[in-house]
Structure 1
Amino acid sequence: MLADVKQWLKEEPRQAATLGLSALALALSFCGVRFGPVDPAWLAVLLCGLPIVREGAEGLFTRFDIRADVLVSLALIAAVIIGEIFAAGEVAFIMQLGALLEARTVARARAGIERLVHLTPRTARRLAAGGTESVIPAEAVRVDDVLRVLPGETVPVDGVILTGQTAIDQSVMTGESLPVDKAPGDEVSSGTVNQFGAFDMRAVRVGEDSALQRMIRLVQSADAGKAKIVRLADRWATWIVLTALIAAVGTWIVTGEVLRAVTVLVVFCPCALVLATPTAIMAAIGNATRHGVLIKEGDALERLARVRTVAFDKTGTLTCGTPGVARIHSILPDLAPDELLRLTAAAEERSEHPLGKAIVRHFRESGQPAATAEDFRMLPGRGVSARVEGREVLAGNAALLAERGVSLPPELESAAQEARAEGQALVLAALDGKAAGFVALADDVRPTAGEALSGLQRCGVETVLLTGDSEAAAQAVARRLPVHEVRAHCLPEDKLQWIARREAAGQPVCMIGDGINDAPALKSALVGVAMGGVGSDIAVDAADMALVQDDIRELPHIFALARRMMRTIVCNLSFSLILNFAAIFLAMTGLLSPVSGALVHNAGSVLVIVNSALLLHWQARRSAQ
């Protein structure tokens, strides 16, 4: 948050100076400071109020668009006429602060798209007919060019592997937590990362046709097509303004007393109406912040109150996002699971593969004495081999064991199929040329996920799992959590289409995710919620909210808070309207003077603020219940 403030001060010095000076002037006015006959609040009226009056006049006279700006302009003029300078400056300051926050949100969204664009590879290694390698700009790659991708490099375009075996981190495109082994004939996508092992590939889709460029366009189109909710005050503005003006003019014509007409405009001065929504939103945002939820969009909670379907990404959202050992299975009578883990971890000690690293990490956490490996060999796309305490250890996939002449007995095949059905990745192990068992790895479900989804369902919200992972991995998670619907193998455009279909059917969607591949869906959904801790910067920028500590238990809290906030806003608006129209009637009959009218609308503003402030602690008590 401090970084955002510093960036704003650097980029928008004029707005910062305007709001700073206005806040200081209002503080001096509130404390009773005067510079001769001049109220310091005049500075806030001039700096913040004049732009509002100008915009309201332009909208009214050029587009006949009566919105909240017209309401506020009339409020400012009426307040100045009766000498309520502080009230005029206060309303103008609040409105300009809200406009600034909205502008900063738009800038953040644009920054998120720029970060996504920066993921696009800048160069590629092209192989000539004679085998000569040259580095060229990625945009110069043409279809059927042969490219080489080294370990740690990003795949420059979409293509097919010709030679070499490796594992690819596809989380950018699919969100999969585990790397995917690739061999000749397999497809690779631009933007994905080669984990280890060099390979040659043939370019198939280049430039604007590549997968990463398509996702960038998805984010941009989703951002452009996402409609903003019209503020309640804007919806009612036309009728309120016309009613007040007709009442003032009618009073003047009927009674012939200008004072009564001015009093009507004074009591109409909609301070309570203007404050009804922003004060409730500010209180709700403060409440959410205390619970580790950062609200980035001013109207995000207003939109969230309408949501009845929540779509979750799997990896990093409902799961922890990193592979962990889920099961150790030994088929040798004289080999305990702990011993199999010890030998396998020793063989994987120098492995670059994420699954091998996960096995080593799990073994170190167990506290067992480590073994030393010799003759270590990394076999890209298959696994590793090593000699551990005089025994030959193989650790990898079925292709590695078949290559070394190791057959898998039916018992091991059956157990392996069962583990794969649970969405687990397997590292098969062999000792001295004989199958020994396997280590199964999976992305663990977050301990708080069940509680979060159950809480959402109690709120009447349908929960859906949208993931780029396999059907088996998705169903394995769904069996452990209360999920209504599961959709696997979802690319970014698939998630976008699913959300579009739901919202076209009148079912607003909240999307919750953490990865770059979730950015289009987060931007397209009515409300996007990103995991602020493990989530990518692009996902956080695309979302309307962020869970700072990745605690999804707070989701039911936020849903209940949003609905309570909307009830508070409706209550505030209803009260302010009833008060205004009652005061207008009294002013028309001459029972209220301009001074007493000013007191009435100030009292209404205070009551609205007090009612909104109750939101600061309401949800904490509600959660406890």
Structure 2
Amino acid sequence: MVHRIHDILSGLYMTILAGLFLLLDGIPHLIEEFGGQSPFQNIFPFEPSWVTVIICGFPLVYLSIRRIVYNKGISKISSALLISMAMFAAVAIGDIFAAGEVAFIMALGALLEESTTERAKKGLKKLISLAPVKGRKIQDNKEIMISVESIQSGDYLRILPGETIPVDGRIINGETTVDQSIMTGESIPVDKTIDDDVFGGTINCFGAIDIIATKVGEDSSIKKMIQLIRNAEQKQAPIQRIADTVASRLVPIALMIACIGYLVTGNIIVGVTVLVVFCPCALVLATPTAVMAAIGQATKHGVIIKSGEILETMGKVDTMAFDKTGTLTRGQLSVQSILVVDTDYSEVDILQLAASAEAKSEHPIGKAIVSHAIHQDLEILATTSFTMSVGRGIIAVINGVTLYCGHERFLEEHNIIVDERVQQNVNTYRSEGKVSIIIADKDHIIGIIALSDTMRRDTADMLSAVSSLAMKTVLLTGDSKETATYIGKKAGISEIHAELLPGEKVSIIEELQGKHHKVCMVGDGINDAPAMKTADVSIAMGSIGSDIAIETADIALMSEDLNKIPYIKRLSDATIRTIKFSIALSMAINCIAIILSLLEVLTPTTGALVHNVGSCLVVLIAARLYDRKFI
């Protein structure tokens, strides 16, 4: 019952009503405060501010008593307790308007804080509203509408145009375009076809598709995002915990200064004014409002930050370490060039023969060559014989001709001469981070196909932006030195480490930390998880990364947009600057107000105005983080 009354009185409409009564009482009080004669004296049978004291004061007293009862240690002493004491002190000296003013502006500050928090939670609320409740299951060639909770991994589902995809899955039939902005922050819908993955909670824009469910219930992407954001909102940043502790300890200091002020001046109003202006409300509000606004801003752009502590730590990061494959590069081999050695063959001939020979191979190199040939609309010729030597090469017979595809040692083992010109080309490709496949018949080499893992389109721009933020960049990869050096230099990375095992990545991060660097590790795979766990902050490529990497990471990117990485750093820096500025501002206002109170310049009425303007300013400054442009 009491809690229900608290909720009603602290609501928007009751606060507005309290403000109207305060205004009715405020005009004559302010006129008198500055030496004038109010024409409105004795109009009311009682002071209208009493209504304000009751409406806004009850929630304050309730909150302070509740914290004394339930909180532990120093946290029992709260800003609500100090304001309650100031309110009662103002009532005791007969300044009902000052008591109402203190309570009202505190209520107004609470509403501003709640408004900021609600705006920051807008991304989460949108996620929750988009979480589907039903799905269209295909069973015995019939469509059955069932609850999302009933869908199991392996179920076949049909999604019609305009419907929300109920769970994560893989398309097995149909083509469409999916609006997945709520998950990835991508503004443009993404085309999807057979074997493409889709996320639960995203919207099927056009064609009907059939999917097989892969992740359901709490394992689905949208459920994980909702839980991650909820967890982030509940975790305090260290700077927030410090602010709360300082605020609690300021209460006895305020009481002491108020008592001293009263004893020195002999004026009880001085003591009451000190209580009014000393409240550390702005100090308490500075961090949570800024953190909530920043987390909300990040969620809006498809970035999940798991706690306020991560934001604070990210603001101190001076070194960014990157995995290569799947992070800076696409993680997929593709044909980069075809070199003709025997002029009796063209590039098309060499590609067609190599693809036909590799058609039965399961090796990624073979698959990449076949995929490239199919993309070029080349016919894959039949083979009458196929032999594979793992890690070395393959032998295939096509139209009676025996073809060899592999590296130079493999060809030499079959008495095929690798001349100096071919070896030089192979060495050049290797220095560029490319893999070379030499194609030969029984007598001689006819061509070379060079493949490589291609760099993401936005890698160079992202690294340039990171460097411009005065951060060191480090590449940590298990690839060869040649490949790592080529990619690292092309991308503009300042320090390169290659041929690393997962444990060696950890050692390098620990070495950097030993030199007093704050390290952020960006990765996408299982092998990156130990290094990500060791780093001060870790970022996972959410849409393509492994579940282990995402669970380990402090921050998850829900799209492949690497430009979100410098965005996170800029957002973190701005959040820390905002918090520090707000704390400094609140402390400065408090100090000035205390001095003016002791000098009897401020009264409880004007002191409440000065002090609580600071609280409102802090909330408004934090709220700006939500809409600022960092990308």
Normalising by the smaller structure, the TM-score range is 0.5 to 0.7
SS at match of 1:299: helix
Gaps of 5+ in 1: 1-17, 61-67, 102-226
Contact map agreement 1:294 1:545 (CA 8 A) in 2? yes
> How do residues 61-460 of structure 1 correspond to structure 2 at under 5 angstroms?
70-72=77-79, 74-75=81-82, 77-78=84-85, 81=88, 82=99, 84=103, 87=106, 229-231=238-240, 233=243, 237=247, 240-241=250-251, 243-255=253-265, 260-398=270-408, 400-432=410-442, 434-460=444-470
Residue in 2 that maps onto 1:59:
73
Q: Which amino acid aligns with 1:298?
A: G
- Cα deviation for residue 247 of structure 1 reads 1.3
- Bigger shift: 272-281 or 248-257? 248-257
Out of 77-86 and 404-413, give the one that drifted further: 77-86
Shift, 1:411, TM fit: 2.4
What whole-Å deviation, never above 9, does each CA across 1:515-572 have from its counterpart, x for those lacking one?
A: 2222232233222222122222222222222222222223333333332332222221
Cα-to-partner distance string for 1:449-507 (whole Å, 9 max, x where unaligned) = 11111122222212111222221121011220211111112233322232223223222
Q: Partner of 1:346: helix, strand, or coil?
A: helix
Equivalent in 586, 599, 604 of residue 576 of structure 1: 586
Amino acid in structure 1 at the alignment position of 2:625? L
Q: Which runs of 5+ in 2 are unaligned?
A: 20-50, 89-98, 121-235
Secondary structure of residue in 2 paired with 1:614 = helix
**Paired residues for 1:418-567 under 5 Å:** 418-432=428-442, 434-567=444-577
Note closer, same or farther for the CA distance 1:405–1:565 as it changes in structure 2 (3 Å cut): same
| SS of 1:552 mapped into structure 2 | coil
SS at match of 2:499: coil
SS where residue 334 of structure 1 aligns?
coil
**Quick one: which amino acid aligns to residue 362 of structure 1?**
H
What is the CA distance between 1:615 and its match in structure 2? 3.0
**How many angstroms does 1:72 deviate by?**
4.2
Question: One-letter code of the match for 1:394?
Answer: Y
Shift in CA distance, 598/521, structure 1 to aligned 2, threshold 3 Å: farther
Deviation at 1:239, TM superposition (A): 7.1
Amino acid paired to 2:518? P
The alpha-carbon deviation at position 298 of structure 1 amounts to 1.0
Name the CA distance, whole Å, in 2 between partners of 1:538 and 1:582: 52
Cα deviation for residue 403 of structure 1 reads 4.7
RMSD, aligned α-carbons: 3.9
Residue 499 to residue 505, structure 1, CA distance change in 2 (3 Å): same
Secondary structure class of the residue paired with 2:560? coil
- Identity percentage of aligned residues: 36
Distance 1:24 1:345 in 2: 76
CA offset at residue 311 of structure 1?
1.4
**Partner amino acid, structure 2, of 1:261:** G
Q: In structure 1, how many angstroms separate the alpha carbons of the residues matched to 2:64 and 2:411?
A: 77
C-alpha distance in structure 2 between counterparts of 1:464 and 1:610, whole Å: 38
Displacement of 1:80 after TM fit? 7.3
Please tell me whether the aligned partners of residues 321 and 521 of structure 2 are also in contact (alpha carbons under 8 angstroms): yes
The alignment covers a number of residue pairs equal to 466
Q: 1:540 to 1:419 in 2, by over 3 A?
A: same
How far apart are the structure 2 equivalents of 1:579 and 1:36? 25
Query: CA 1:601/1:547 → structure 2, altered by over 3 Å: closer, same or farther?
Result: same
SS in 1 for 2:345: coil
Match of 1:165 in 2: none
SS in 2 for 1:489: coil
User: Does 2:623 correspond to 1:609?
Assistant: no
CA–CA separation in structure 2 for the residues paired with 1:260 and 1:521? 58
TM-score by length of 1: 0.65
CA contact (8 A) 1:304 1:559 kept: yes
SS at match of 1:613: helix
* Cα pair distance change 1:338/1:578, threshold 3 Å: same
**What is the DSSP-based 3-state SS (H/G/I as helix, E as strand, rest coil) of the residue aligned with 1:310?**
strand
- The amino acid that maps onto 2:422 is L
CA deviations over 1:292-313 (Å, ceiling 9, x no partner): 4322221323222222221111
Contact 2:15-2:104 within 8 A present in 1 as well: no
| Bigger Rg over Cα | 2
Aligned counterparts of 2:480 and 2:86: Cα–Cα separation in 1: 63
In the alignment, the residues of structure 2 paired with residue 611 and residue 466 of structure 1 have an alpha-carbon distance, to the nearest angstrom, of 39
Contact map agreement 1:44 1:93 (CA 8 A) in 2: no
SS in structure 1 of the partner of residue 296 of structure 2: helix
Partners of 2:532 and 2:293 in 1: CA distance: 25
Change (3 A) 1:450 1:24: farther
Q: 1:94 to 1:514 in 2, by over 3 A?
A: farther
Distance 1:563 1:36, change over 3 A: closer
- 1:54-79 Cα offsets, whole Å, 9 max, x none, are 576x333xxxxxxx775546456558
| Aligned equivalents of 2:17, 2:529: Cα separation in 1 | 50
Contact 1:310 1:509 in 2 (8 A): yes
The normalised TM-score by structure 2 is 0.64
Distance 1:44 1:546 in 2: 39
Contact 1:342 1:370 in 2 (8 A): yes
Q: Counterpart of 2:243 in 1: which secondary structure? A: helix
d(CA) in 1 for partners of 2:482, 2:327: 18
Question: Which letter does structure 1 place at the counterpart of 2:614?
Answer: G
Give the direction of change, closer, same or farther, for the CA distance of 1:326–1:44 in structure 2 (3 Å limit). Answer: farther
Work out whether residues 320 and 519 of structure 2, in 8 Å CA contact, stay in contact via their aligned partners in 1: yes
Return the offset for 1:618. 3.7
**Structure 1 residues 323-332 or 467-476, which shifts more?**
323-332
CA contact (8 A) 1:528 1:543 kept: yes
Whole-Å separation in 2 of the counterparts to 1:416 and 1:614: 56
The verdict on how the C-alpha distance between 1:24 and 1:308 changes in structure 2, with shifts beyond 3 A counting, is farther
Equivalent-residue separation in structure 1 for 2:53 and 2:79 (angstroms): 26
> In the TM superposition, what are the counterparts of 1:2-41 in structure 2 within 5 Å?
26=11, 29-30=14-15
